[in-house]
Structure 1
Amino acid sequence: MNWRMSDNGMTSFLTRLRGDTRGNTLAMMAAFLIPLAALTGSAVDVGRMYLVKVRLQQACDAGALAGRKFMDDSNSTTLDANAVTQARTFFANNFPSGIMGTPAYTNATRPYPFTPTKTADNQVAGTATTRVPMTIMQMFGQSEQPLTVTCEARYDIADTDVMFVLDTTGSMACAAADASCSQAVRTYTRPDGTIGYYTTEKSNSKLSGLRAAVMNFYDTMASNIDPNTHVRYGFVTYTSTVNAGAALLDVSPNSFVTQWNYQSRAITGEEQTGSASDTTYSNDTSAECTARAGRAPGGELTFSTNGLAYYFTRISWTRNNGRSTGGTCVIRAQAVKPVWRYGPVTYNVSQYIATLNTSNTVADPSKITGATARWQGCIEERTTTPGTTTFDIDNLPADLDPDLPATSNNSRWRPMWPEVIYYRATKAGNTYAGNGSSPYGDLWVDQYTRARDSYTNMTPYPNGWAENIESGYVSCGKPVSRLATMTRDQVSAYVNAVDFKAQGGTYHDTGMIWGTRLISPTGLFAADTAAWPGRQAPNRFIVFMTDGAMAPNDSLYGMYGMEKYDGRIGGGNTSDLTDFHNARFVAECAAARSRGITVFVIGFGQALNDELRTCASPGQAFFAGDNAALTSAFQSIAKQVAMLRVSK
């Protein structure tokens, strides 16, 4: 039988077939199975390759760092054998042989997949290679894929400037465990030959711990420094003032005023003392009698060392009977003493400033006994804003602005002149001539003389003593050291010098002001911290260490004169001096940080208060309970500064 489908029948069959979808899913899955398997296998194997590459890169970095650390410094263009061995060891520790199916390796039979090399600038570079076996992708002819990473490491620090700001006040003579201590005050001879005072140290004093910690810092840095790295160090020792005179004159000869007001005294007249005595001379002519009168009242007097002088005046001359020229001459002698006005006195300071670091002296204008003085270098600060605890970091007063040049009397500094400073009975001032041969006011606020005035109604501050050395009412410590490259011997010489002594009271703002000023990249000392030729700007650090909280005293003569009389911080409010000084300290810390300076703060035997924590850069406040802990803190900071890093 012959079957024949008509055209209409074929069309109907195809139409039914098109509409019948039963079994299509299975066919489609079969068709898509191969590309889906390839896609899934690719994702799995790419993920494995990524993990292997990350691990390989870490191992390469570790190997390069180890190679740089152990590399011998030499002129050779190839890496020494020990450095190669250490590099491969560290690589192997981070990328074990055969990890994740990569080819196994041994140093003896199969070469390491890591090759360290020495670069032209004496660093270590490395190349690491391996092959990652495929899993699912093997079905598609991809058995393995090669991986290669490169690395370069530097074991050094960036060019770095470190400014140490160190509390060397009297309490540093005590041990860290002491709540307080009472050490004797002694004299020493400064490097310039003058006499200074200091608090004697206990054998385990905090100052001795500080010396050791600074040296440990230097050694920690030195052990991590690449030969091509530059490091500079500077020092500020602070009490109630800072010895920065020589540093200022070096960079700015006109940085000091020529005249300044001191809380001193000046002679306003004279006062008779004791009884007058008459002396009779015979056979004098009238001219001879007049010549015996050395001075009439009101004229010039030259006082002796006991503060007294005599003037002589002619009382009478009587002609002798029967003689034409001779006669009887009566001369009266009267002892006088100076009458002083105690209060602000303006002195020319140009010649006084010129005595710094010389053997020259100038006459003390507040004395009548021939006393002389020589400037030690400690300063009074320039103009500030008194009576405030709020400062605008972008508009600081002259003394808190680290970058302001000295162009006017408000922005110039003033030399501390303790020999001409006197306590007095009232803030307004007093006129006084003293009792007998002990004129009040020769008892001055200095570090040489301690004597009590017998005139009890004019008792000087504090507590009837002209100066309490033990309490640090005036001090002048070691000169600052500007930023410079220093050898270990030079650093040791600074912290072990004869004038690195414990003395004075605690004023954190004085130290921070000068630490910031000396390291600021845009201030008077910018040349000291400038980038080395052809190199990037250095990293800048202040290491601020103190063993106590702020402790101002309105009767102390320091960087802001004598607050009781001058009112340069509190503006007449002496009850809140601590708050005023703390606000200035915190403002200066902020000024340092705003200039890209990292501030480390260490409280030594003293709990970190809010101001010290606020001063520090984030996470950089440390507490040290004893000398060993201080060394540990300094070492920790040094390691941060000298951090090992991968450069590429």
Structure 2
Amino acid sequence: MARFIRRLFASTGGSVLPIAAASVPVIVALIGGGLDINRVYKARNRLQTACDAGTLAGRRAVTTNGYDTAARNQANAYFNTNFVEGELGATGTTFATASANNGNLISGTASTTVQTAVMNLLGVETIPVSVACSATMGVGNSDITMVLDTTGSMGNTLSGTSQTRIQALRVAMKNFYDTVATATQGSNARIRYSFVPYSSSVNVGRLIYNLNPAYLADTWPIQTREPVFNTITERVFTGWAAPVNTSEQTYSTETIGGTTQYSSTNYSSQAACNSARPADIDWANSGSATTSSSTTTNGAGQQVVTSTTAQPQSKTTYICQRRNNNRWRVDYYNTTRDFITRNYATSDPIYETRTRQEFANWIYREVSNVDTSVYKTFAAVSKPNGSSGAAVSYTWGGCIEERETDATSSISYSSVTGMSPSTALDLDVDLVPDGDAETKWGPMWPELAYYRTTTYWGNTYLTDAVQTSQGSRASSYCPYQAQLLSTMNQSAFYGYADALAAAGSTYHDLGMLWGLRLSSPQGPWADTVNIAPTNGGKVSRHIIFMTDGQMEPSNTIQSSYGIEWHDRRITDDGSSNQAARHTLRFRALCDNAKDKGFRVWVIAFASSLTSDLTYCASSNSSFLATNATQLNSAFQEIAKNVGELRVYQ
């Protein structure tokens, strides 16, 4: 037809009829082509949709077995459901899928042939169509680390309500969980949760110990107090020497009894009476002897054990006495006494010279090598820290002091050079402790923490003296224990939220430090972090940082950086620019988190959304919540982003 048209235009004749006749097939081609092109366009769109649906279904069906037959069949079923040849005038449809990386990315191709409705009059009977498609899992798998401010102000009551801030947080957390669980219900998405409650310390001791006890130091420097004892030398009685035995015998005082008539015979004279008088009866034992014992100390300090035996004796004496009638009669009387035998066991005292320690006073100073080797195992350890230096038993609560750092005013993070300076080992979230003591963490020992003071004109002040005779117990706060990434049912999640308690000062850098450290794919807990989900999909990582206040470190409490007034691990003098330097660390850690691919969400609750908090957050990821309703809304907005199963093509 093309040659015909060219000949027609080349002709110089003036006939109109041939021209009109020649126009008919052109018009048919134009109109019919438009109709058939629309059919092809519709078929191609449906083919693309079916191809997409098939690869999406295949990717969703991937398990640890990779892209196996079951997953492939699922892809084919979805394709066939979405592309019906009869509805589109198509024939010879094919759909093929494959994966080069064990199911992480599913690639597909689809082709079909569309029959023409008009163009076949011109010899064009079919038009081939082909498309390509691919699918991979996106945010369906999420690791969510909640870094939660549980400082003392979280116990404050919200304005106009009877609800405390931490109670509102618990409610918002639970609603967050329910929203995410609902969004992923019926999918194979994996959602894991990690928690880092923070205040002036973090409770990660059990996690470190379970990972490797050697990562905790066996000795640690502590600003503390020690008892001073005076040595007292004494002679101490220890017993008695073998006794020396002696004895003596004696009589008691004699006792003369009353006179008794011997007989009723009367005599006319004394001589006659004496002749009739019986002979006297001499001394003789009378009755049973009695024995007694006593122990005394004599004037020489000797112990004398006296055993006394008393034997009663008596004698009878006969006498003649004249009566009123001048007649004589025989009478008698008895005399009694005791025959006494005393045995003496005399012992000398035995003395030893001994020394003892008597409490004198306390001294307050740093002890650079407090033994923590048993304390770090969560076993009870006794220390002379009670009244007058008495031994008291302590058990570790799980909060830690940070490893070696650098008290510098210049802290920053770069995706090229990393954390600077490199001497701030505490800020290296991926550094695994080794044999170097500077890389290890120390168990925080709250009961031993004391700061030093001095008194001037009746007022007590902090002092930087190395040692003093006066001081005060440092406040110390240990939040609820942190948790590694793990899947959680509703009961477990709710239980964790309910266990949160409010106490302590605000150290944002500590919260971000450990939220990132526990969740870093390159950190000490990388084996846990990098557990692959059974669906084989990618994992999106989120840190939700919630606080109700600004950075408010204290230099007199015991924090994860010791007692900063004395330890000076952050500042040069224990106080100047303390909050500013902690804030620099916080910002650097936020940079590190975002560089690692975490989406950092920040919620400022019942406080201002400061420039530092905004800086920390990822783009479009910060919220200001002035009340419980807004706090819940912020968590819900985050939940809709991290919990929704999405598939990217």
Question: Shorter-normalised TM-score: what interval?
Answer: 0.5 to 0.7
Write 1 or 2 for the structure with the bigger share of strand. Answer: 2
Deviates more, 1:631-640 or 1:476-485: 631-640
SS at match of 1:643: coil
Alignment-derived partner of residue 208 in structure 2: 248
Contact kept in structure 2, 1:161 and 1:233, CA below 8 Å: yes
Change (3 A) 1:76 1:366: same
For the structure 1 residues 557 and 282, does the alpha-carbon distance in structure 2 shift closer, same or farther, using more than 3 Å as the test? farther
- 352, 357, 371: which one pairs with 1:301? 357
Name 1:444's counterpart in structure 2.
Answer: 473
User: In structure 2, which of residues 375, 392, 408 is the aligned counterpart of residue 387 of structure 1?
Assistant: 408
Q: Is 1:618 matched up with 2:604?
A: no
Q: Distance in 2 between matches of 1:414 and 1:621?
A: 34
Match of 1:428 among 462, 465, 483: 465
> CA contact under 8 A between 1:364 and 1:420: conserved in structure 2?
no
Instruction: Give a deviation string over 1:343-378, Cα, whole Å, max 9, x none.
Output: 21134333552452x5x3422457603322221011
Structure-to-structure mapping, 1:628-647, within 5 angstroms: 628-647=629-648
Structure 2 partner of 1:16: none
Cα 1:508–1:131, aligned 2, differ >3 Å: closer, same or farther? same
Partners of 1:149 and 1:251 lie apart in 2 by: 51
The one-letter amino acid paired with 2:390 is T
Matched position secondary structure for 1:389: coil
Measured after TM superposition, the shift of residue 35 of structure 1 is 12
Q: Is the 8 A contact 2:145 2:519 kept in 1?
A: yes
Separation (CA, whole Å) in 1 of partners of 2:204 and 2:633: 30
Whether the 8 Å contact between 1:64 and 1:153 is mirrored in structure 2 is no
| Alpha-carbon contact 1:519-1:525 (below 8 Å) kept | yes
Aligned-partner SS, 1:496: helix
Aligned-partner SS, 2:405: coil
Call closer, same or farther: CA 1:253–1:355 in 2, change over 3 Å: closer
Gaps of 5+ in 1: 1-22, 92-101, 179-201, 273-280, 304-337, 433-439, 446-472
| TM-score, scaled to structure 1 | 0.63
Structure 2 unpaired stretches of 5+: 1-8, 14-18, 62-69, 233-296, 303-346, 454-462
SS at match of 1:636: helix
The worse-fitting range, judged by mean Cα deviation, of 476-485 and 55-64 is 55-64
Q: Taking structure 1 as reference, are residues 56 and 564 closer, same or farther at Cα in structure 2, changes over 3 Å only?
A: same
Tell me which amino acid in the other structure corresponds to 1:444: R
Q: How does 1:73-92 map to 2 (within 5 A)?
A: none
| Counterparts of 1:614 and 1:130, CA distance in 2 | 56
**1:282–1:373: structure 2 CA closer, same or farther, 3 Å change rule?**
farther
Contact preservation (8 Å) 1:246, 1:377: yes
Among 392, 411, 432, which residue is 1:371 paired with? 392
Q: Alpha carbons of 1:540 and 1:26: their partners in 2 closer, same or farther (altered >3 Å)?
A: farther
Amino acid at match of 1:243: N
Query: What code does the residue aligned with 1:427 have?
Result: D
Partner of 2:430: 403
What letter corresponds to residue 479 of structure 1 in structure 2? Q
Q: Distance in 1 between matches of 2:193 and 2:523?
A: 17
Selected match of 1:166 from 140, 148, 171: 148
- How far is the alpha carbon of 1:205 from its aligned partner? 1.8
Distance 1:43 1:143 in 2: 11
SS at match of 2:620: coil
Aligned partners of 1:35, 1:417: CA distance in 2, in Å?
97
Contact 1:57 1:150 in 2 (8 A): no
Counterpart pick for 2:365 among 305, 322, 343: 343
The alpha carbon displacement at 1:646 in A equals 3.8
The secondary structure found in structure 2 opposite 1:362 is strand
CA contact (8 A) 1:339 1:431 kept: no
C-alpha separation in 2, matches of 1:241 and 1:160: 27
Question: Partner residue of 1:552?
Answer: 553
Q: Is the 8 A contact 2:144 2:541 kept in 1?
A: yes
Q: CA deviation at 1:528?
A: 1.0
Q: How many aligned residue pairs are there?
A: 495
Structure whose CA Rg is larger: 2
TM-score, normalising length from structure 2?
Answer: 0.63
Deviations 1:310-359 (A, max 9, x none): xxxxxxxxxxxxxxxxxxxxxxxxxxxx2333221134333552452x5x
Check the 8 A contact 1:352/1:375 in 2, yes or no: no
| Distance in structure 1 (CA, Å) of the matches to 2:366 and 2:41 | 78
What secondary structure does 2:532 align onto?
A: coil
SS of the counterpart of 2:531? coil
**2:607 corresponding residue in structure 1:** 606
What is the identity, as a one-letter code, of the residue corresponding to 2:495? Answer: A
CA deviation after TM superposition for structure 1 residue 220, in Å: 1.9
State the secondary structure of the residue aligned to 2:543.
Answer: strand
Tell me: CA distance 1:345–1:619, structure 2 relative to 1, closer, same or farther (3 Å).
same
RMSD: 5.2
**1:143 CA displacement:** 8.7
- Residue equivalent to 2:508: 508
CA–CA distance in structure 1, aligned partners of residues 94 and 183 of structure 2: 24
Which structure has more RCO (C-alpha within 8 Å, separation ≥ 6)? 2
Greater Cα shift, 126-135 or 615-624: 126-135
Letter in 2 for 1:205: T
Give per-residue Cα distances to partners, 1:228-281, cap 9 Å, x unaligned.
Answer: 332221111000100111000011210122112211122456599xxxxxxxx9
Structure 1 window deviating more from structure 2 (502-511 vs 539-548): it is: 539-548
Correspondence list, 1:345-364, <5 A: 345-354=367-376, 356=378, 360-364=380-384
Offset of 1:128 from its aligned partner? 11
Q: Secondary structure in 2 aligned to 1:541?
A: strand
Give 3-state SS (helix, strand or coil) of 1:474's partner.
coil
